[in-house]
Amino acid sequence: MRKNDNDTKRLERILADGWKAGAETRPGDLWQAGVMARVREAASVRPEPAWTNGTSRLALRISLVAAAAAAVLVVWTLAGGVIPYEELAMKAIDEPLSILIGSPFV
């Protein structure tokens, strides 16, 4: 029994050493030319980067429009379009009752 175990371990070690030695093949010029031919072929059909495709492209467009709209709003606000505190103060002076009674809904 012990001899069998030892034989198995020894055989396993010898086979493992043979496996580690590998196939003993080396890349040659022809092989390298073959790789580059396939690489050039792949380059000619390489898809566009992921962000330019389908859903990503739509999301990109929407975010560009949203950014432009935000920029317009900022410019308009700075130019005096909406001044919330001033508007509220004016309303409080003009119609004090409506502010007091209906303030939550105004």
Partner 1 sequence: MTDERTAAGDQEIIGRVLGGETDEFEKLVTRYGEHVFRIVGRRVPRDDVPEVAQDVFVRAFTSLGRFEGRSPFEHWLSKIAVRAALDYWRARYRSREAPMSALTEDHREWLEKSLADESDSSFETAESRLLARDLMMSALAELSPPDRAVIELVHLEERPVAEAARILGWTTVNVKVRAHRARKRLRAVIERMRDAAGARGAAAAEES
State the residues that interact with partner 1 by CB under 8 A: 4, 7-8, 10-12, 14-27, 31-32, 34-36, 38-40, 42-43, 46, 49
The least CB distance from residue 77 to partner 1, in Å, is 41
The helix, strand and coil proportions of the chain, stated in percent and rounded to the nearest 5, come to 80, 0, 20
The least CB distance from residue 64 to partner 1, in Å, is 23
SS3 29: helix
Q: CB-wise, 11 or 64, nearer to partner 1?
A: 11
Indicate the DSSP class of residue 24: -
